[in-house]
């Protein structure tokens, strides 16, 4: 189909652009019913949460022990929820794929956690945090949920301090905080560069305390491979014991997924090796809508790829942009030179040049895209990866002159040391090299105000849901969301669902349970029997390459169509030609990976379809066909002011992914006015 | 560089184990140690041999999932985690021995993977502050002296990897436990349970089959997070205090 490039200021309406043929939009999906109700209570925005908590039914303490809750995931979102529901007296089963709940990937968060405490008296408030989060998300998040997030943020800090989380403190003994990610107030609480670790250890210890109390049973090295849905309700999961290979059935009154993000669909990301989409994707196949799958956050300050062997990318806190200056050579010929030999006048400090007022502190999405642009122009630095050098300098020379090496070391020492250890280069002597990397996924399973998916009894929290971050997440707000969901939101909303329990008893012989268990067994058997030529990792790398190339920082219709074709043929080859060795009844890491990659191969296609249908540039994603005259992102509120919630179109257990169905949830802003972002 | 790798292979908890020698060519100094093993595994799969099982997750030195005995050193020759060790620490022609953590309290699972759930059970015994969700006072109501806050933080940096146990000739987990006792015991919030905590944790430690401490200091030398040896003194002091109080 032909492409119309919108002229600035005259946005292109969505429907005018979509070609519908035989009921298929763009030849790829069907339109479904709109989502009319998000279950938020009526009333002014600052009263809704109080109303909801009051209206949620209570469960008699004596009955709680008889009610069972499955929580998959032990990160901030899952760990906090399991501990809290255990304390309340419910019978909780907690699952993670690592050998201990303490190792969930929340542990890796460095920078900090936001909370509207206004300890600095600098004008912060619930409303300002709410406003910053909605604006940062480029007006693609649901107002009611974000307001609540800001509202409970202050309680999180109190709770964590009571648990013994060692936040940074001032000499007077009170908590320190800093400004982070381009906001104008100091609201980010931190524990050196290990904030995620300290918050997670707090939740983990609370969880282990409940294990000792007998309210929580912990299933480590267990991987959820299927959701059990009985009579339209989520009633349990099928999990594989990763040590013995046993396929187990776990049934309960309610199921919570807190399984983290799916950035590993790109193979290289800052996520942990095991981070995956399997739990969410299996639920999607059983009917749960997937919200905004294409919304990915690409973080500008990561250590660049050094070669083909690379297994993951390492983030360096963006606080480095406070004092480091970003540049590339003006001329391609200089790219191989020692940066110290390139004189000032031959350097292009491109962020300072293009965005004079924000300079190196522009938001993540803009910093990332401009780094890609200068590298695409052939002005990248460092080793060649494929045809291009993928790196830009982050230079501390000026800061070292201005502040002394000791002062720089005090502020950034651990980051600079980490860089030195990984690359072998000393940043006190040579400028560092950085490049953007996939870091966070704003998309995830669709949930309502109660964090319940469209499948009754299936709740989704933390990064795994489509989240409060719209099309772009502000720094230090994912930790806030995980703990808000886990400690304060879910325990209140799930109570209402459980007040109608117990739900009719389900036996392990129920046809829906047997079907789910058999499906898992069949998949394991199939993966082990293909015995083809290619390793699981080789498929994963190829998928990652396709996603990065066609569904990464900049997307176009043509590229996305190509990506979809490539993914489809790669998926077909996977099921014909993958080689998974070893047995089903032992620890088998290839088998685990194969199952995850199989699901990524389906998710990747949906991400491309979602990206293709959203013909606007917004937040973390830039659509080539939708830009202003000077190349900045152009959002189209007239056509795309909605959440795209995708329904699975294939048969739930069959191999095919079918034709996805799009349900739109219109975004209504009553407390905030819509604006185009500008950082010039 | 070209390397000779002697790696412990064991099919399961009950199966006999053996050292197997592999040659690996063209290893780049920019690879991490685990990426080097990834490359070896890819070549094994291509040859039809089962890959070597080893644990890792974050590969950033913070989750504590990785851990290998590398030529007799827990996490290898420099102070870091196995996942953050890079091949530029080695030389062409080197021969490297790779084994799992060995301790009675860390039963074998497969190849280089062991079961460290005994650490979780030590935490269950008392490694927490009892503060139910929703019951917390305003965070600024209890100031914490910066010196104490800093020491608590330093101890809280433990990642629960188990290198201290693997390095210890007695397979003692005193450094791991001392780190937790110090983290919580330095803070005002941790005072009410301070003495009960240490008694219960030590009892669980002994019950799990970890050995006694003879002050060799091997644990602190191996610790990737540089947990100082004096956390064990703090633990012993609290334990004596608890016994003195008749707990
Ligand atoms: C390097 C890095 C730095 C970051 N820094 C910051 C920061 O400074 N501030 C901030 O706010 N945010 C930061 N983030 C984002 C933030 O850390 C995450 O979004 C957040 O911690 C996610 O928490 P979670 O509880 O949703 O999921 P996770 O912590 O990822 O936990 C997922 C859990 O699900 C389990 N699981 C997954 N799949 C399965 C399955 N199939 N079966 C069984 N169990 C399963 C896992 O075992 C794990 O327990 C950072 C992220 C990264 C990667
Ligand atoms: S004390 Fe050090 S070596 Fe021991 S578990 Fe903690 S981090 Fe690992
Ligand atoms: S893999 Fe997480 S610390 Fe090494």
Q: Do A87 and B133 touch (CB under 8 A)?
A: yes
Q: What is the pLDDT of residue A80?
A: 98
Residue having the nearest C-alpha atom to atom 8 of ligand 2: B161
Instruction: Please name the residues in contact with B185: beta carbons below 8 A apart, sequence gap of 6 or more.
Output: B191, B194, B197, B198, B234, B238
Indicate whether B148 and B83 sit together in one domain.
no
Q: What residue has token string 């929340």?
A: A106
Total of domains in chain B: 2
| pLDDT above 80 (res A366) | yes
Indicate whether B217 and B170 sit together in one domain.
yes
| B33 in contact with ligand 2, CB cutoff 6 A | no
Average pLDDT of A533-556? 96
Q: The CATH number of the domain where A412 resides is what?
A: 3.90.700.10
Q: Do B124 and A212 touch (CB under 8 A)?
A: yes
| pLDDT above 90 (res A501) | no
Q: Do A158 and B139 touch (CB under 8 A)?
A: yes
Indicate whether B217 and B152 sit together in one domain.
yes
Instruction: Please name the residues in contact with B133: beta carbons below 8 A apart, sequence gap of 6 or more.
Output: A80, A83, A84, A87, A159, A206, A487, A488, A491
Q: What is the DSSP string of A310-340?
A: -----B--GGGGGT-EEEEESSGGGGGS-GG
| pLDDT above 50 (res A7) | no
Distance A92 CA to ligand 1 centre (A): 20
Per the annotation, the verdict on A389 as an active-site residue is no
Domain end residue (candidates: B110, B133, B166): B110
Q: What is the pLDDT of residue A75?
A: 98
Rounded percentage of chain A residues whose pLDDT exceeds 90: 84
Alpha carbon A451 to chain centroid, angstroms: 16
Q: Is residue A247 part of a domain?
A: no
Indicate whether A605 and A520 sit together in one domain.
yes
Average pLDDT of A176-197? 87
Q: What is the pLDDT of residue A11?
A: 39
Indicate whether B69 and B127 sit together in one domain.
no
In this predicted structure, which of A284-298, A330-344, A403-417 has the lowest mean pLDDT? A403-417
Q: Is residue A578 part of a domain?
A: yes
Mapped to the 3 state alphabet, what secondary structure does chain B carry? CCEEEEEEEECCCCCCEEEEEEEECCCCCCCEHHHHHHHHHHHHHHCCCCCCCCCCCCCCCCCCCCCCEECCEECCCCCCCHHHCEHHHCCCCCEEEEECCCECCECEEECCEECCHHHHHHHHHHCCCCCCCCCCCCHHHCCCCHHHHHHHHHHHCCCCCCHHHHHCCCCCCHHHHHHHHHHHHCCHHHCCCHHHHHHHHHHHHHHHCCCCCCCCCHHHHHCCCCCCCHHHHHHHHHHHHHHHCCC
Indicate whether B76 and B60 sit together in one domain.
yes
* Chain B stretch 193-222, residues whose beta carbon is closer than 8 A to a beta carbon of chain A: none
Indicate whether A423 and A327 sit together in one domain.
yes
Indicate whether A661 and A518 sit together in one domain.
yes
In this predicted structure, which of A230-234, A414-418, B63-67, B87-91 has the lowest mean pLDDT? A414-418
* Chain B stretch 151-180, residues whose beta carbon is closer than 8 A to a beta carbon of chain A: 152-153, 156-157, 159-160
Indicate whether A390 and A528 sit together in one domain.
no
Indicate whether B240 and B134 sit together in one domain.
yes
| pLDDT above 80 (res A8) | no
Indicate whether B160 and B220 sit together in one domain.
yes
Distance B122 CA to ligand 2 centre (A): 14
Q: Do A208 and B124 touch (CB under 8 A)?
A: yes
Task: State the pLDDT confidence band at B247, using cuts at 50, 70 and 90.
Answer: low
Q: The CATH number of the domain where A534 resides is what?
A: 1.20.58.100
Indicate whether A569 and A420 sit together in one domain.
no
| pLDDT above 50 (res A580) | yes
Q: Is residue A499 part of a domain?
A: no
Domain end residue (candidates: A407, A437, A467): A437
Rounded Cα distance, A280 and B29, in Å: 38
In this predicted structure, which of A3-12, A286-295, A623-632 has the lowest mean pLDDT? A3-12
Distances (CA, A) of A1 to A8, A26, A69, A564, A617: 22, 9, 49, 16, 20
Q: The sheet that has A296-302: what strands, in order across it?
A: A296-302, A432-441, A392-395, A325-329, A347-348
Q: What is the DSSP string of A342-403?
A: S-GGGEE-HHHHH-TTTGGGS-HHHHHHHHHHHIIIII--SSEETTEE--EEEE-HHHHHHH
Q: The CATH number of the domain where B162 resides is what?
A: 1.10.1060.10
| pLDDT above 60 (res B204) | yes
| pLDDT above 50 (res A341) | yes
Indicate whether B104 and B148 sit together in one domain.
no
Give the pTM. 0.96
Indicate whether A387 and A519 sit together in one domain.
no
Residue having the nearest C-alpha atom to atom 2 of ligand 2: B223
B187 contacts in A (CB within 8 Å)? 164, 166
Indicate whether B122 and B235 sit together in one domain.
yes
What does DSSP say about strands A432-441 and A296-302: parallel, antiparallel, or unpaired? antiparallel
Indicate whether A421 and A561 sit together in one domain.
no
Average pLDDT of A211-222? 98
Q: Can you give the residue range of the structural domain that contains B200?
A: 116-244
Indicate whether B124 and B79 sit together in one domain.
no
A164 closest CB neighbour out of B38, B62, B184: B184
Indicate whether B14 and B75 sit together in one domain.
yes
Indicate whether B133 and B55 sit together in one domain.
no
Task: State the pLDDT confidence band at A153, using cuts at 50, 70 and 90.
Answer: very high
Q: What residue has token string 């409970």?
A: A152
Rounded Cα distance, A493 and A150, in Å: 17
CB pairs under 8 A between A and B: 208
- Mean pLDDT, all residues of chain A: 93
Q: What is the pLDDT of residue B244?
A: 86
Task: State the pLDDT confidence band at A675, using cuts at 50, 70 and 90.
Answer: confident
| pLDDT above 50 (res A180) | yes
Residue having the nearest C-alpha atom to atom 6 of ligand 2: B158
Domain end residue (candidates: A437, A469, A500): A437
Task: State the pLDDT confidence band at A515, using cuts at 50, 70 and 90.
Answer: very high
Indicate whether A537 and A433 sit together in one domain.
no
Average pLDDT of A444-461? 98
Average pLDDT of A1-6? 34
Total of domains in chain A: 2
Q: What is the pLDDT of residue A6?
A: 36
Task: State the pLDDT confidence band at A654, using cuts at 50, 70 and 90.
Answer: low
Indicate whether A305 and A388 sit together in one domain.
yes
Q: The CATH number of the domain where B81 resides is what?
A: 3.10.20.30
Q: What is the pLDDT of residue A631?
A: 86
Note the pLDDT tens digit of each residue in B93-151. 999 999 999 999 999 999 999 999 999 999 999 999 999 999 999 999 999 999 999 99
Could you tell me if A25 and A662 are in contact, meaning their C-beta atoms sit under 8 angstroms apart?
Answer: yes
| pLDDT above 70 (res A119) | yes
| pLDDT above 80 (res A288) | yes
Considering only CA atoms, which of A629, A550, A626 is closest in space to residue A17? A626
Instruction: Please name the residues in contact with B169: beta carbons below 8 A apart, sequence gap of 6 or more.
Output: B214, B216, B218
Q: What is the pLDDT of residue B216?
A: 97
Task: State the pLDDT confidence band at A5, using cuts at 50, 70 and 90.
Answer: very low
Domain end residue (candidates: B110, B133, B151): B110
Q: Which site among A304, A421, A531, A578 would you substitute to test the B interface, given the most B Cβ atoms closer than 10 Å to its Cβ?
A: A421
Note the pLDDT tens digit of each residue in A78-116. 999 999 999 999 999 999 999 999 999 999 998 899 999
Average pLDDT of A643-666? 88
Distances (CA, A) of A204 to A210, A465, A581: 10, 21, 35
Q: Which site among B106, B139, B144 would you substitute to test the A interface, given the most A Cβ atoms closer than 10 Å to its Cβ?
A: B139
Look up residue A170 and give its two tokens: 């001032």
Q: Can you give the residue range of the structural domain that contains A626?
A: 509-644+656-666
Considering only CA atoms, which of A146, A143, A446, A144 is closest in space to residue A292? A446
Q: Is residue A164 part of a domain?
A: no
Domain end residue (candidates: A397, A414, A437): A437
Domain end residue (candidates: B71, B93, B110): B110
């Amino acid at each position: 189909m032909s492409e119309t490039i919108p002229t600035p200021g005259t946005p292109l309406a969505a429907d005018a652009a979509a070609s519908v043929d035989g009921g298929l939009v763009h030849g790829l999906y069907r339109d479904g019913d709109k989502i009319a109700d998000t279950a938020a209570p009526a009333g002014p925005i600052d009263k809704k949460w109080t109303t909801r908590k009051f209206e949620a039914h209570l469960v008699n303490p004596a009955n709680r022990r008889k009610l069972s809750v499955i929580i998959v995931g032990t990160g901030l979102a899952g760990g906090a929820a399991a501990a809290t529901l255990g304390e309340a007296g419910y019978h909780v089963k907690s699952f993670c794929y690592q050998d201990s709940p303490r190792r969930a990937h929340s542990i890796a968060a460095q920078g900090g956690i936001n909370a509207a405490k206004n300890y600095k008296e600098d004008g912060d408030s619930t409303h300002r945090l709410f406003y910053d989060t909605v604006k940062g998300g480029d007006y693609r998040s649901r107002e009611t949920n974000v307001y609540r997030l800001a509202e409970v943020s202050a309680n999180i800090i109190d709770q964590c301090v009571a648990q013994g989380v060692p936040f940074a403190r001032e000499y007077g003994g009170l908590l320190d905080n800093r400004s982070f990610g381009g906001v104008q107030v100091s609201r980010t609480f931190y524990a050196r560069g290990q904030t995620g670790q300290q918050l997670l250890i707090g939740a983990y210890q609370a969880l282990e305390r409940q294990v000792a109390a007998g309210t929580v049973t912990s299933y480590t090295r267990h991987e959820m491979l299927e959701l059990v849905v009985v009579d339209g309700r989520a009633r349990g999961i099928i999990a594989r014991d990763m040590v013995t290979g046993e396929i187990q059935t776990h049934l309960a009154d309610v199921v919570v997924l807190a399984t983290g993000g799916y950035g590993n669909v790109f193979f290289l990301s800052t996520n942990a090796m095991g981070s995956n989409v399997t739990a969410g994707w299996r639920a999607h196949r059983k009917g749960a809508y997937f919200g905004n799958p294409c919304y990915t956050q690409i973080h500008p300050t990561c250590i660049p790829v050094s070669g083909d062997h690379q297994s993951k990318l390492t983030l360096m806190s963006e606080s480095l942009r406070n004092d480091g200056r970003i540049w590339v050579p003006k001329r391609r010929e200089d790219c191989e030179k020692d940066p110290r030999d390139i004189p000032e006048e031959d350097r292009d400090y491109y962020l300072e040049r293009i965005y004079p007022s924000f300079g190196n502190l522009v938001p993540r999405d803009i910093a990332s895209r401009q780094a890609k642009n200068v590298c695409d122009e052939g002005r990248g630095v460092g080793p060649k990866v494929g045809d291009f050098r993928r790196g830009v300098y982050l230079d501390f020379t000026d800061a070292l002159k201005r502040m002394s090496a000791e002062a720089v070391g005090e502020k950034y020492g651990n980051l600079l040391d980490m860089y030195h250890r990984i690359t072998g280069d000393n940043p006190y002597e040579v400028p560092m090299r950085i490049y953007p990397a996939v870091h966070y996924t704003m998309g995830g399973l669709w949930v309502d105000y109660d964090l319940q998916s469209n499948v009754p009894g299936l709740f989704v929290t933390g990064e795994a849901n489509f989240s409060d971050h719209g099309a772009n997440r502000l720094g230090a707000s994912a930790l806030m969301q995980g703990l808000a969901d886990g400690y304060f939101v879910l325990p209140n909303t799930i109570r209402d669902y459980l007040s109608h329990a117990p739900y009719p008893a389900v036996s392990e012989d129920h046809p829906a349970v047997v079907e789910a268990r058999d499906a898992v067994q069949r998949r394991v058997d199939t993966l082990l029997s293909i015995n083809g030529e290619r390793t699981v990792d080789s498929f994963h790398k190829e998928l990652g390459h396709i996603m990065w190339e066609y569904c990464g920082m900049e997307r176009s219709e043509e590229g996305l169509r190509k990506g979809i074709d490539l993914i489809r043929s790669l998926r077909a080859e996977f099921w014909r030609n993958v080689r998974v060795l070893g047995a089903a009844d032992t620890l088998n890491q290839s088998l685990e990976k194969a199952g995850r990659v199989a699901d990524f191969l389906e998710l990747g296609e949906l991400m491309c379809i979602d990206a293709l249908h959203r013909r606007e540039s917004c937040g973390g994603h830039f659509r080539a066909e939708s830009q202003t005259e000077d190349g900045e992102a152009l959002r189209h509120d007239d056509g795309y002011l909605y959440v795209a919630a995708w329904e699975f179109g294939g048969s739930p257990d069959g191999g095919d992914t079918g034709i996805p169905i799009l349900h739109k949830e219109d975004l209504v802003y009553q407390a905030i006015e819509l604006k185009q972002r500008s950082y010039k | 560089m070209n390397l000779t790798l002697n790696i412990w292979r064991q099919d399961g908890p009950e199966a006999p184990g053996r050292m197997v020698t592999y040659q690996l060519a063209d290893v780049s100094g920019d690879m991490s140690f685990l990426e080097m093993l990834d490359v070896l595994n890819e070549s094994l799969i291509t040859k039809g041999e089962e890959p070597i099982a080893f644990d890792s997750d974050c590969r950033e030195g913070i989750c504590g999932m990785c851990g290998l005995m590398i030529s007799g050193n827990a996490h290898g020759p420099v102070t870091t985690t196995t996942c953050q060790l890079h091949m530029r620490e080695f030389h062409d022609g080197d021969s490297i021995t790779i084994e799992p953590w060995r301790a009675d309290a860390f039963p074998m699972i497969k190849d280089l993977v062991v079961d460290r759930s005994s650490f979780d059970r030590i935490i269950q015994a008392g490694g927490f502050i009892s503060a139910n969700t929703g019951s917390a006072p305003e965070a600024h109501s209890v100031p914490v002296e910066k010196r104490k806050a800093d020491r608590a933080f330093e101890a809280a940096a433990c990642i629960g990897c188990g290198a201290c146990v693997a390095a210890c000739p007695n397979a003692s987990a005193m450094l791991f436990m001392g780190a937790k006792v110090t983290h919580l015991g330095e803070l005002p919030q941790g005072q009410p349970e301070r003495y009960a905590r240490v008694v219960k944790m030590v009892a669980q430690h002994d019950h799990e089959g970890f050995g006694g401490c003879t002050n060799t200091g091997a644990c602190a030398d191996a610790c990737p997070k540089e947990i100082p040896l004096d956390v064990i003194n703090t633990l012993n002091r609290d334990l004596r205090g608890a016994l003195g109080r008749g707990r």
